[in-house]
Amino acid sequence: MTGISTISIDAMGGDIGPQAVVEGIGYALKRWPDRKANYLLHGDEAHLQPLLELHPAVAAVSEIRHTPTSVTMTAKPSEAVRRARGSSMWNAIQCVKSGEASAIVSSGNTGALMAISKVILRMKKGVHRPAISANWPTPTGHTVVLDVGANISCGATQLVEFAIMGEAYHQACFGDGDPKVGLLNVGQEELKGNDTVREADSLIRNANLDMNYIGFIEGNDISAGHIDVVVTDGFTGNIALKAAEGTAKLVAGFVRDALTSSLLAKLAAGLLSLGALDRLRRRMDPRHMNGGVLLGLKGIVVKSHGGSDGEGFASALGLSLLLSKSNFMQAIRNNLDKFASAHDQDNNAQS
C-alpha cells in the first residue's frame, strides 16, 4: 500500500488525554519520518487547540474534529455502547468504518473500545471473537502473544482463529515471512492439557493452513525467543502478561538497588549509564512496546495503555502506521478461508 495514511485518534481517552496524544504525534514524527500520515483528532477543541499551538509540526498534520463528549474510563461496555454515540471514541472508530481513516488509536476504556468497535466495524467473516495482542520482548526480538484479555474463556475453534490472526500480525509487524506459532499448554507432550487445547492442536494440524505451526509450548518458552506467536485464551494470557510486567519491575528494582548500594556502585552506575545501562533501560522501557491490536475486526483498532505518556502513545501510533501499510488483513482472510473449508469438509465427512 502506498500514499499517506490517515489515522483517527480518540484524543480524550486515557489518564493524560489530549496532552499525551499531541506529544505522541510529535514523537512519532521524529521517530518515523518516513511514515507519513495525517491525524484526525476527535475531542474537545478547547483542550486540543492550545496544545497544537505549542506544537506547530503536529498542527501541520492534524485536524481537530470537535467532540465535546467522551467515554469515561469506568464505563461498562454495555453502557458505553448505549451512550457513546457521538463521543470522541465513537466518532474516531466511525472514520475507519467510512474509509476516511485507515486505523484508529485510543488510550480509552478497553472494554468500551472493544464493544463499540464490534458494533461499528463488525467482526471479520469466520472470526467468532476478537483478540487483543501484545508484543513480548525476547533476546532475539519480539513474540506476539494473544489473547491477553479480551476472552476469559474460548473454544478450540477460537484458538485456531487467534493463531491465524497472530501469525499474520507478526509478519506485518516484524517482517518475518515464516513465524513459528505455538499453542500454550502445561507441557509439550501430546496428551498434556485440557480438551480445548488438544482439540485446537488437532484442528490446526488438519486444516492445511499456510502456517509454521510447531505444536504445544510452555510458559517459559514465551520469553525465550524461539517462538514467534504464542496462542492462548485471554484469562491465561492476561495473567502471564501481568506476571511478566511485575517481574520486569522487580528486576529493575533489584538492578537499581544494586547500583545505588554504595559509593563504588554509584560510580560504576555512572560509567555504565554511558553505554550498556542506557541500552538496557531503553530495552526494558514499556513505552517502546505500547500498543495492543484488537484483531478480528473489519478494521485496524490499536489500544494504547491508559497511562501512556507521549512517548508511549507514539509507539501505538507507529504500530497503527505500520499495519495500515501492510496486507495483514488479507493474509488473515486467506487462512480463515482455508480453515473454514477444512472445517466444512470435516463436518461433511462426519455427517
Domains observed in the chain: 1-127+296-326 (3.40.718.10)
Percent of the chain surpassing pLDDT 70: 89
pLDDT above 60: residue 276: no
What is d(CA 44, CA 58) in angstroms, rounded to the nearest whole number? 17
Nearest to 44 by CA among 94, 86, 97: 86
Span 93-130, pLDDT tens digits:
999 999 999 999 999 998 899 999 999 999 988 888 88
Residue 210 DSSP code: S
C-alpha cell at 208: 492445511
What is d(CA 128, CA 110) in angstroms, rounded to the nearest whole number? 19
Q: What was the pLDDT predicted at 1?
A: 43
Query: Can you give the pTM of this predicted structure?
Result: 0.85
Residue 5 DSSP code: E
Write the CB contacts of 237 (distance below 8 Å, at least 6 apart in sequence): 134, 145, 146, 147, 148, 149, 184
Reduced to 3 states (helix: H, G, I; strand: E, B; else coil), residue 185 is coil
